[in-house]
């Protein structure tokens, strides 16, 4: 794959005109209802103008009308591939605002759930990325494993996708008696599957040709745009809020932060961003294993406040969601409803840099680049 510089084509004697191609909102590879306006010079991308808002569900308005605990089901529906982590972030923010200490068992369960959710989310990202590029089999394999995780969530809280499980100051229920056993079984079965996935997809020649060296995101640009999560780590920066802005009990575990090394091409290309996710799943498995070993007994509902009425003030808290930095900015005016909740959605920020990534590539590469940044439209539009 080669990146074309637009100046060269301008010099050619053939007179060309710009063409505008519309992609989406109904397109199988836009991961939802994203609309991209591609400005083309022949087959080469000159500019990409994303149009968003096709799934704008007024989350922030709802927060102002709801009481603090009632906001939690709505946070689920923002990033619907990582619902557990959205609740986690909101609960952490509210606990800091209210200055609540949660029991240790709650923290352990939250970490286990959060990391399981991270694996489930990455499995969807990897599976659909393969499907976008033309490898359909990994999609089925990834969804097979994801079903196992969803089953674990289901026995815990009864829902497959949107949980309402992590509450302010605690959890809605304790774990199911079978949970620990089933999770151990899952980890045992899943480890070889990651290897299988690597053989099927990561080191597949066609896949590498489509993704290596494509859509390189330089680190300086990434930071200036505020890109975070696996996309930033793919560009070679060791930045993970679990270590760099610690919350919950992540300091108790031993795990690595994988970064893109440019193994198949340049640092920060699509393959790097993809492979960081594969490695992160293994790191999450490590965290879950340790957490299961150490989990203490205790009550999970004891610290839940009966009536939540925080003092006047404001707080910005962020957590490392599977897609990057998920921030909650909450302003309280001393009443039962929040005065303002603003969500800093990682995909929203990442989507801004997308135009830069695509410039000079072919139309077919847009799909490869879009899949590699792994966006969720529910979170972009909120």
Partner 1 sequence: MKTAEEIFNQLKEKFGSSIIELRTDKPVESFIVINPLEIDKICSFLHDENDLLFDSLMNLSGVDDANGTKEKDEKGLETIKGGTLSVYYHIESTKLKHKLTLKTSTPREKPEVVSVTEVWKGADWHEREAYDMYGIVFLNHPDLRRILMPYDWEFGYPLRKDYKNPEFYQGMKVPY
Partner 2 sequence: MGLLDQEFTEGNIVIAKTEDLFNWARLSSLWQVGFGLACCAIEMMATSASHYDFDRFGVIPRPSPRQSDVIIISGTVTFKMAIRIKRLYEQMPDPKYVISMGSCSNCGGPYWEHGYHVLKGVDRVIPVDVYVPGCPPRPEALLEGLLKLQEKIRNESIVKPIRSGFVGKTA
313 half-sphere exposure, CB direction, 13 A CA radius: 11
What is the number of other CB atoms lying within 10 angstroms of the CB of residue 297?
Answer: 7
Query: With binding defined as CB under 8 A, does residue 331 bind partner 1?
Result: yes
Query: Could you say whether residue 155 binds partner 2 (CB under 8 A)?
Result: no
Of 98 and 159, CB closest to partner 2 = 159
Which residue in 8, 21, 53, 246 binds partner 1 (CB under 8 A)?
53
Element (H, E) at 107: helix 104-133
CB of 57 to partner 2, least distance (A): 5
Q: Find out whether 67 and 341 touch, Cβ atoms under 8 Å.
A: no
Residue 139 touches partner 2, criterion: CB under 8 A: yes
Q: Is the peptide bond before 25 cis (omega within 30 degrees of 0)?
A: yes
Give the interface size with partner 2 as a residue count (CB under 8 A). Answer: 36
Binding at 318: pick from partner 2, partner 1, none (beta carbon under 5-8 Å per type): partner 1
Q: Which of 33, 119, 279, 369 binds partner 2 (CB under 8 A)?
A: 33
329 lies in the binding site for partner 1 (CB under 8 A): yes
Residue with smaller CB distance to partner 1, 227 or 278: 227
**Candidate list 223, 292, 295, 363; residue touching partner 1; CB under 8 A:** 223
Q: What is the nearest approach in angstroms of partner 1 to the Cβ of residue 78?
A: 13
What is the secondary structure of 4-65 as a DSSP string? PPHHHHHHSSS----EEEEE-SS-TTSSSS-EEEEEEETTEEEEEEEE--TT---HHHHHHH
Please identify which residue in 36, 38, 97, 142 interacts with partner 1, judged by CB under 8 A. 97
DSSP symbols for 43-55 = TEEEEEEEE--TT
Q: Which part of the chain contacts partner 1 (CB under 8 A), choosing from 166-174, 286-294, 341-349, 365-373?
A: 341-349
Contact status: 340 vs partner 1 (CB under 8 A): yes
Task: Map residue 239 onto helix, strand or coil.
Answer: coil
Q: 104-133 vs 179-197: helix axis angle to the nearest 10?
A: 30
**Contact 270/209 with Cβ under 8 angstroms?**
no
Contact between 218 and partner 2 per CB under 8 A:
no
CB of 108 closer than 8 Å to CB of 296 = yes
Closest to partner 2 by CB, 50 vs 378, is 378
Number of continuous H segments (helices) and E segments (strands) in the chain: 16, 8
Q: Which does 327 bind (CB under 5 to 8 A by kind): partner 1, partner 2, none?
A: partner 1
Q: Does 52 bind partner 1 (CB under 8 A)?
A: yes
Q: Does 375 bind partner 1 (CB under 8 A)?
A: no
Under rule CB under 8 A, residue 335 binds partner 1: no
Per the CB < 8 A criterion, the answer to whether 282 and 194 are in contact is yes
Q: How far apart are CA 152 and CA 323, in angstroms?
A: 22
User: Which SS3 state, helix, strand or coil, does residue 47 take?
Assistant: strand
Residue that has been written with the tokens 């009864």 in this structure: 158
325: three-class secondary structure by DSSP: strand
From the list partner 2, partner 1, none, pick the one residue 129 interacts with, judged by a Cβ distance below 5 to 8 Å according to partner type: none
Q: Give the span between the Cα atoms of 85 and 57, in whole angstroms.
A: 19
- The answer to the question of residue 184 lying near partner 1 (CB under 8 A) is no
Which chain residues interact with partner 1 by CB under 8 A? 52-53, 56, 58, 60-61, 64, 96-97, 221, 223-227, 237, 239, 244, 311-316, 318, 325, 327, 329, 331, 339-340, 342, 344, 348-349, 351-352, 381-382
């Amino acid at each position: 794959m080669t990146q074309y510089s637009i100046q060269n084509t301008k010099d050619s004697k053939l007179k060309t005109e710009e063409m505008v191609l519309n992609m989406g909102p109904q397109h199988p590879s836009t991961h939802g209802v994203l609309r991209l306006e591609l400005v083309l010079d022949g087959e080469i991308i000159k500019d990409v103008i994303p149009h968003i808002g096709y799934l704008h569900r007024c989350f922030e308005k709802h927060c102002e009308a709801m009481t603090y605990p009632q906001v939690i089901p709505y946070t689920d529906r923002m990033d619907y591939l990582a619902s557990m982590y959205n609740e986690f972030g909101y609960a952490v923010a509210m606990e800091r605002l209210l200055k609540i200490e949660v029991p240790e068992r709650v923290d352990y369960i939250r970490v286990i759930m959060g990391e399981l959710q991270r694996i489930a989310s990455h499995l969807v990202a990897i599976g659909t990325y393969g499907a976008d590029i033309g490898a359909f089999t990994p999609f089925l394999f990834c969804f097979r494993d994801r079903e196992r995780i969803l089953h674990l969530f289901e026995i815990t809280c009864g829902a497959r996708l949107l949980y309402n499980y992590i509450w302010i100051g605690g959890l809605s229920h304790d774990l199911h008696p079978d949970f620990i056993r089933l999770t151990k079984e899952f980890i045992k079965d899943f480890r070889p599957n990651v290897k299988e996935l690597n053989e099927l997809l990561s080191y597949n020649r066609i896949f590498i040709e489509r993704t290596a060296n494509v859509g390189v995101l330089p680190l300086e640009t990434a930071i200036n745009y505020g890109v975070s999560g696996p996309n930033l780590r793919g560009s070679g920066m060791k930045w993970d809020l679990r270590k760099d802005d610690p919350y919950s009990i992540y300091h108790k575990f031993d795990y690595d932060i994988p970064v893109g090394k440019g193994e198949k091409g340049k640092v920060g290309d699509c393959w790097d961003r993809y492979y960081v996710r594969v490695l992160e799943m293994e790191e999450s498995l490590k965290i879950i294993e340790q957490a299961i070993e150490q989990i203490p007994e205790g009550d999970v509902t004891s610290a839940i406040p009966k009536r939540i009425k925080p003092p006047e003030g404001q707080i910005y808290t962020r957590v490392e969601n599977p897609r990057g930095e998920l921030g909650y900015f909450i302003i309280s005016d001393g009443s039962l409803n929040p005065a303002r909740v603003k969500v800093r959605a990682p995909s929203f920020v990442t989507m801004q840099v997308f135009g830069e990534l695509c410039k000079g590539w072919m139309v077919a590469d847009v799909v490869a680049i879009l899949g590699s940044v792994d966006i969720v439209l529910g979170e972009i539009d909120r």
